[in-house]
Structure 1
Amino acid sequence: MAPLITLLAVTLLLRTAGAAGIRGLRSWHTSLRGGLAAMFVLTGVAHFNDMRGDLIAMVPPALPYPELLVTVTGVLELLGAAGLLHRRTAPWAAGGLALLMVAMFPANVYAALSGLMVNGAPATALLPRTLMQLVFIAAAIAVVLPYTRTLTHRRLASTRTVPRARKPHSLHQ
Protein backbone atom coordinates (compact mmCIF):
# COMPACT_ATOMS: atom_id res chain seq x y z
CA MET A 1 0.00 0.00 0.00
CA ALA A 2 2.93 2.37 0.68
CA PRO A 3 3.91 2.51 -3.03
CA LEU A 4 0.35 3.49 -4.00
CA ILE A 5 0.18 6.15 -1.30
CA THR A 6 3.60 7.46 -2.38
CA LEU A 7 2.57 7.62 -6.03
CA LEU A 8 -0.67 9.46 -5.27
CA ALA A 9 0.67 11.77 -2.56
CA VAL A 10 3.79 12.89 -4.42
CA THR A 11 1.91 13.35 -7.70
CA LEU A 12 -0.72 15.50 -5.96
CA LEU A 13 1.90 17.43 -3.99
CA LEU A 14 3.85 18.24 -7.15
CA ARG A 15 0.68 19.18 -9.03
CA THR A 16 -0.35 21.46 -6.16
CA ALA A 17 3.07 23.09 -6.29
CA GLY A 18 2.54 23.61 -10.02
CA ALA A 19 -0.87 25.17 -9.42
CA ALA A 20 0.77 27.46 -6.85
CA GLY A 21 3.08 28.82 -9.51
CA ILE A 22 6.09 26.53 -9.85
CA ARG A 23 6.37 26.64 -13.62
CA GLY A 24 8.08 23.26 -14.13
CA LEU A 25 5.29 21.42 -12.31
CA ARG A 26 2.29 22.92 -14.07
CA SER A 27 1.43 19.78 -15.99
CA TRP A 28 -0.07 16.57 -14.66
CA HIS A 29 2.39 14.70 -16.83
CA THR A 30 5.42 16.16 -15.07
CA SER A 31 3.84 15.64 -11.66
CA LEU A 32 3.05 12.03 -12.51
CA ARG A 33 6.66 11.47 -13.56
CA GLY A 34 7.74 12.78 -10.15
CA GLY A 35 5.21 10.61 -8.32
CA LEU A 36 6.36 7.51 -10.18
CA ALA A 37 9.99 8.38 -9.52
CA ALA A 38 9.30 8.70 -5.78
CA MET A 39 7.42 5.41 -5.79
CA PHE A 40 10.27 3.59 -7.52
CA VAL A 41 12.85 5.08 -5.16
CA LEU A 42 10.77 3.70 -2.29
CA THR A 43 10.40 0.26 -3.84
CA GLY A 44 13.94 0.17 -5.21
CA VAL A 45 15.51 0.96 -1.84
CA ALA A 46 13.43 -1.83 -0.28
CA HIS A 47 15.50 -4.29 -2.33
CA PHE A 48 18.52 -3.34 -0.22
CA ASN A 49 17.15 -2.65 3.27
CA ASP A 50 15.54 -4.83 5.94
CA MET A 51 12.79 -5.87 3.47
CA ARG A 52 15.33 -7.61 1.24
CA GLY A 53 14.74 -11.02 2.85
CA ASP A 54 11.00 -10.74 2.31
CA LEU A 55 11.51 -9.78 -1.33
CA ILE A 56 13.86 -12.72 -1.87
CA ALA A 57 11.20 -15.02 -0.37
CA MET A 58 8.67 -13.63 -2.87
CA VAL A 59 10.66 -14.87 -5.87
CA PRO A 60 8.86 -17.97 -7.18
CA PRO A 61 10.88 -21.15 -6.56
CA ALA A 62 11.04 -21.89 -10.30
CA LEU A 63 13.30 -18.89 -10.84
CA PRO A 64 17.02 -19.27 -10.22
CA TYR A 65 19.21 -16.95 -8.14
CA PRO A 66 16.51 -15.08 -6.18
CA GLU A 67 19.10 -12.87 -4.42
CA LEU A 68 20.52 -11.77 -7.77
CA LEU A 69 17.04 -11.17 -9.19
CA VAL A 70 16.12 -8.95 -6.24
CA THR A 71 19.37 -7.02 -6.63
CA VAL A 72 18.93 -6.54 -10.38
CA THR A 73 15.29 -5.48 -10.10
CA GLY A 74 16.17 -3.05 -7.30
CA VAL A 75 18.90 -1.46 -9.39
CA LEU A 76 16.56 -1.25 -12.39
CA GLU A 77 13.88 0.42 -10.27
CA LEU A 78 16.35 3.02 -8.99
CA LEU A 79 17.75 3.67 -12.48
CA GLY A 80 14.20 3.93 -13.82
CA ALA A 81 13.32 6.44 -11.10
CA ALA A 82 16.29 8.59 -12.11
CA GLY A 83 15.34 8.25 -15.77
CA LEU A 84 11.81 9.49 -15.08
CA LEU A 85 13.19 12.81 -13.85
CA HIS A 86 14.72 13.76 -17.20
CA ARG A 87 12.45 14.64 -20.10
CA ARG A 88 14.59 12.91 -22.72
CA THR A 89 14.87 9.62 -20.83
CA ALA A 90 11.42 9.61 -19.21
CA PRO A 91 9.58 7.69 -21.94
CA TRP A 92 12.26 5.01 -22.06
CA ALA A 93 12.38 4.76 -18.28
CA ALA A 94 8.59 4.59 -17.98
CA GLY A 95 8.33 1.97 -20.72
CA GLY A 96 11.08 -0.10 -19.15
CA LEU A 97 9.49 0.17 -15.72
CA ALA A 98 6.10 -0.89 -17.11
CA LEU A 99 7.73 -4.00 -18.58
CA LEU A 100 9.60 -4.61 -15.34
CA MET A 101 6.33 -4.45 -13.38
CA VAL A 102 4.78 -7.01 -15.71
CA ALA A 103 7.84 -9.25 -15.33
CA MET A 104 7.81 -8.94 -11.52
CA PHE A 105 4.09 -9.52 -11.11
CA PRO A 106 4.45 -13.32 -10.74
CA ALA A 107 6.38 -12.66 -7.50
CA ASN A 108 3.37 -10.76 -6.16
CA VAL A 109 1.06 -13.59 -7.21
CA TYR A 110 3.32 -16.13 -5.52
CA ALA A 111 3.47 -14.05 -2.32
CA ALA A 112 -0.31 -13.62 -2.21
CA LEU A 113 -1.12 -17.26 -2.90
CA SER A 114 1.59 -18.65 -0.60
CA GLY A 115 0.57 -16.53 2.38
CA LEU A 116 4.03 -14.99 2.74
CA MET A 117 4.76 -12.25 5.24
CA VAL A 118 6.06 -9.01 3.76
CA ASN A 119 7.40 -6.31 6.03
CA GLY A 120 5.83 -7.99 9.06
CA ALA A 121 2.33 -8.34 7.58
CA PRO A 122 0.66 -10.85 5.30
CA ALA A 123 1.31 -10.19 1.62
CA THR A 124 -1.42 -8.15 -0.04
CA ALA A 125 -4.25 -10.35 -1.31
CA LEU A 126 -4.22 -11.09 -5.01
CA LEU A 127 -7.16 -8.94 -6.16
CA PRO A 128 -6.08 -5.70 -4.45
CA ARG A 129 -2.47 -6.33 -5.49
CA THR A 130 -3.52 -6.89 -9.10
CA LEU A 131 -5.56 -3.68 -9.10
CA MET A 132 -2.64 -1.72 -7.64
CA GLN A 133 -0.29 -3.21 -10.21
CA LEU A 134 -2.67 -2.13 -12.98
CA VAL A 135 -2.67 1.42 -11.56
CA PHE A 136 1.14 1.46 -11.52
CA ILE A 137 1.40 0.14 -15.08
CA ALA A 138 -1.26 2.60 -16.27
CA ALA A 139 0.68 5.46 -14.67
CA ALA A 140 3.86 4.38 -16.45
CA ILE A 141 2.01 4.10 -19.76
CA ALA A 142 0.48 7.54 -19.15
CA VAL A 143 4.02 8.89 -18.98
CA VAL A 144 4.97 7.20 -22.26
CA LEU A 145 1.90 8.17 -24.34
CA PRO A 146 2.57 11.89 -24.91
CA TYR A 147 6.03 11.03 -26.24
CA THR A 148 4.69 8.42 -28.64
CA ARG A 149 2.14 10.91 -29.96
CA THR A 150 4.88 13.48 -30.50
CA LEU A 151 7.06 10.96 -32.31
CA THR A 152 4.14 9.86 -34.47
CA HIS A 153 3.36 13.45 -35.45
CA ARG A 154 7.04 14.13 -36.24
CA ARG A 155 7.28 11.00 -38.38
CA LEU A 156 4.12 11.88 -40.25
CA ALA A 157 5.35 15.41 -40.83
CA SER A 158 8.70 14.19 -42.15
CA THR A 159 7.10 11.72 -44.56
CA ARG A 160 4.84 14.26 -46.17
CA THR A 161 6.35 15.48 -49.36
CA VAL A 162 5.94 18.86 -50.86
CA PRO A 163 4.53 18.52 -54.35
CA ARG A 164 7.11 19.34 -56.97
CA ALA A 165 6.42 22.00 -59.47
CA ARG A 166 5.30 20.38 -62.65
CA LYS A 167 7.11 21.17 -65.84
CA PRO A 168 4.87 22.72 -68.37
CA HIS A 169 3.80 20.18 -70.88
CA SER A 170 5.08 20.96 -74.28
CA LEU A 171 3.59 19.74 -77.48
CA HIS A 172 7.04 19.76 -79.03
CA GLN A 173 9.07 17.02 -77.47
Structure 2
Amino acid sequence: MTFAIPDPSLPRPRLRAALRWLLAAIYIAFGIVHLRGAHGFLAIMPPWVPYPLEVVLFTGVCEILGSAGLLIPRLRWISGVMLALYAVCVYPANLHHAFGHVTVSSLPSSWWYHGPRLAFQPVFVWWALFAGGVINWPFRKVPA
Protein backbone atom coordinates (compact mmCIF):
# COMPACT_ATOMS: atom_id res chain seq x y z
CA MET A 1 0.00 0.00 0.00
CA THR A 2 1.41 3.39 -0.94
CA PHE A 3 0.24 6.85 -0.05
CA ALA A 4 0.71 10.05 -1.98
CA ILE A 5 3.48 12.28 -0.74
CA PRO A 6 1.95 15.67 0.08
CA ASP A 7 2.48 18.35 -2.53
CA PRO A 8 5.24 20.73 -1.36
CA SER A 9 3.44 23.56 -3.13
CA LEU A 10 0.56 23.44 -0.63
CA PRO A 11 -0.41 26.86 0.70
CA ARG A 12 1.36 28.23 3.78
CA PRO A 13 4.29 25.79 3.91
CA ARG A 14 5.98 27.48 6.89
CA LEU A 15 2.78 27.67 8.90
CA ARG A 16 1.97 24.07 8.02
CA ALA A 17 5.45 22.91 9.06
CA ALA A 18 5.31 24.84 12.34
CA LEU A 19 1.87 23.45 13.14
CA ARG A 20 3.03 19.96 12.19
CA TRP A 21 5.99 20.09 14.57
CA LEU A 22 3.88 21.58 17.36
CA LEU A 23 1.15 18.96 16.93
CA ALA A 24 3.75 16.18 16.87
CA ALA A 25 5.27 17.50 20.11
CA ILE A 26 1.85 17.72 21.77
CA TYR A 27 0.84 14.21 20.74
CA ILE A 28 4.20 12.76 21.81
CA ALA A 29 3.70 14.36 25.23
CA PHE A 30 0.11 13.06 25.41
CA GLY A 31 1.30 9.61 24.36
CA ILE A 32 3.93 9.48 27.07
CA VAL A 33 1.39 10.61 29.66
CA HIS A 34 -1.07 7.94 28.51
CA LEU A 35 1.59 5.22 28.66
CA ARG A 36 3.12 6.25 31.98
CA GLY A 37 -0.15 7.04 33.76
CA ALA A 38 -2.60 4.70 32.07
CA HIS A 39 -4.36 3.73 35.29
CA GLY A 40 -5.20 7.37 35.97
CA PHE A 41 -7.24 7.56 32.76
CA LEU A 42 -9.41 4.52 33.44
CA ALA A 43 -12.01 6.57 35.30
CA ILE A 44 -12.84 8.69 32.24
CA MET A 45 -13.41 5.70 29.98
CA PRO A 46 -17.09 5.19 29.16
CA PRO A 47 -18.38 1.96 30.71
CA TRP A 48 -19.17 0.46 27.29
CA VAL A 49 -15.48 0.47 26.22
CA PRO A 50 -14.04 -3.07 26.46
CA TYR A 51 -10.54 -3.59 27.87
CA PRO A 52 -10.17 0.00 29.11
CA LEU A 53 -6.54 -0.32 30.26
CA GLU A 54 -5.49 -1.74 26.92
CA VAL A 55 -7.41 0.99 25.10
CA VAL A 56 -5.63 3.72 27.12
CA LEU A 57 -2.26 2.12 26.39
CA PHE A 58 -3.19 1.80 22.71
CA THR A 59 -4.09 5.49 22.58
CA GLY A 60 -0.63 6.34 23.89
CA VAL A 61 1.00 4.21 21.22
CA CYS A 62 -1.23 5.77 18.52
CA GLU A 63 -0.29 9.27 19.65
CA ILE A 64 3.43 8.55 19.55
CA LEU A 65 3.34 6.71 16.22
CA GLY A 66 1.07 9.35 14.69
CA SER A 67 3.48 12.06 15.81
CA ALA A 68 6.42 10.25 14.27
CA GLY A 69 4.46 9.71 11.06
CA LEU A 70 3.70 13.43 10.75
CA LEU A 71 7.44 14.07 10.61
CA ILE A 72 8.13 11.46 7.90
CA PRO A 73 7.10 12.83 4.49
CA ARG A 74 5.95 9.46 3.08
CA LEU A 75 3.73 8.86 6.13
CA ARG A 76 2.57 12.43 6.70
CA TRP A 77 -0.74 12.20 4.83
CA ILE A 78 -1.91 8.93 6.40
CA SER A 79 -0.70 10.06 9.83
CA GLY A 80 -2.76 13.23 9.52
CA VAL A 81 -5.84 11.18 8.64
CA MET A 82 -5.24 8.70 11.45
CA LEU A 83 -4.64 11.39 14.09
CA ALA A 84 -7.84 13.12 12.99
CA LEU A 85 -9.75 9.85 13.34
CA TYR A 86 -8.06 9.29 16.68
CA ALA A 87 -9.29 12.68 17.92
CA VAL A 88 -12.83 11.73 16.91
CA CYS A 89 -12.57 8.32 18.60
CA VAL A 90 -11.42 9.66 21.98
CA TYR A 91 -14.19 12.27 22.10
CA PRO A 92 -16.62 9.92 23.91
CA ALA A 93 -14.13 9.62 26.78
CA ASN A 94 -13.91 13.41 26.99
CA LEU A 95 -17.71 13.66 26.98
CA HIS A 96 -17.98 10.97 29.66
CA HIS A 97 -15.42 12.81 31.77
CA ALA A 98 -17.28 16.11 31.42
CA PHE A 99 -20.89 14.98 31.74
CA GLY A 100 -20.50 11.80 33.80
CA HIS A 101 -19.31 13.75 36.85
CA VAL A 102 -16.13 11.68 36.85
CA THR A 103 -13.43 12.90 39.19
CA VAL A 104 -9.79 12.28 38.37
CA SER A 105 -7.34 13.46 41.00
CA SER A 106 -4.78 14.73 38.49
CA LEU A 107 -7.28 16.61 36.30
CA PRO A 108 -9.49 19.62 37.03
CA SER A 109 -13.22 18.99 37.27
CA SER A 110 -14.53 22.47 36.47
CA TRP A 111 -16.05 23.71 33.24
CA TRP A 112 -13.03 25.98 32.88
CA TYR A 113 -11.25 22.73 31.97
CA HIS A 114 -14.01 20.70 30.27
CA GLY A 115 -15.51 23.50 28.14
CA PRO A 116 -12.32 24.41 26.26
CA ARG A 117 -11.29 20.76 26.04
CA LEU A 118 -14.55 19.75 24.37
CA ALA A 119 -14.63 22.83 22.15
CA PHE A 120 -11.01 22.38 21.04
CA GLN A 121 -11.40 18.74 19.96
CA PRO A 122 -12.68 19.66 16.46
CA VAL A 123 -9.66 21.97 16.15
CA PHE A 124 -7.41 18.95 16.78
CA VAL A 125 -9.20 17.13 13.95
CA TRP A 126 -8.62 20.08 11.58
CA TRP A 127 -5.05 20.53 12.83
CA ALA A 128 -4.11 16.92 12.10
CA LEU A 129 -5.61 17.11 8.62
CA PHE A 130 -3.93 20.44 7.85
CA ALA A 131 -0.56 19.40 9.28
CA GLY A 132 -0.71 16.17 7.29
CA GLY A 133 -1.38 18.00 4.03
CA VAL A 134 -4.80 16.38 3.70
CA ILE A 135 -6.71 19.67 3.57
CA ASN A 136 -5.82 23.28 2.84
CA TRP A 137 -8.83 24.96 4.42
CA PRO A 138 -8.94 27.83 5.24
CA PHE A 139 -5.75 28.65 3.33
CA ARG A 140 -6.60 27.17 -0.07
CA LYS A 141 -5.51 29.08 -3.12
CA VAL A 142 -8.36 30.99 -4.71
CA PRO A 143 -8.25 31.28 -8.51
CA ALA A 144 -8.03 34.85 -9.80
Q: Which residue of 1 aligns with 2:83?
A: 97
Aligned length: 122
Q: Taking CA–CA contacts closer than 8 Å with sequence separation of 6 or more, which of the two structures ends up with the larger relative contact order?
A: 2
Instruction: Note closer, same or farther for the CA distance 1:95–1:123 as it changes in structure 2 (3 Å cut).
Output: farther
For residues 23-53 of structure 1, give each alpha carbon's deviation from its aligned partner in whole angstroms, at most 9, with x where no partner exists. Answer: xxx711111110110010011011122x322
Q: Which residue of 2 aligns with 1:134?
A: 122
Give structure 2 stretches of 5+ with no counterpart: 1-12, 137-144
How far off is 1:106 after superposition?
0.1
Query: For 1:132, what is the secondary structure of its paired residue?
Result: helix
How far off is 1:119 after superposition?
5.4
The whole-number CA distance in structure 1 between the counterparts of 2:110 and 2:73 is: 33
The whole-number CA distance in structure 1 between the counterparts of 2:73 and 2:14 is: 13
Q: Which residue of 2 aligns with 1:54?
A: 40
Match of 2:25 among 7, 14, 38: 38
Aligned-residue sequence identity (percent) comes to: 34
Give structure 1 stretches of 5+ with no counterpart: 1-25, 150-173
Match of 1:71 among 54, 57, 68: 57
Match of 1:88 among 48, 58, 74: 74
The whole-number CA distance in structure 1 between the counterparts of 2:28 and 2:35 is: 11
The whole-number CA distance in structure 2 between the counterparts of 1:98 and 1:137 is: 4
Q: Of the two, which has the highest radius of gyration?
A: 1
The whole-number CA distance in structure 1 between the counterparts of 2:110 and 2:29 is: 17
More helix by share: 1
TM-score, normalising length from structure 1? Answer: 0.64
Alignment of 1:20-31 (within 5 A): 27-31=14-18
Tell whether 2:110 aligns with 1:111: no
Instruction: Answer whether contact 2:32 2:60 (CA < 8 A) is retained.
Output: yes
What is the one-letter code of the residue matched to 1:79? L
Alignment of 1:3-18 (within 5 A): none
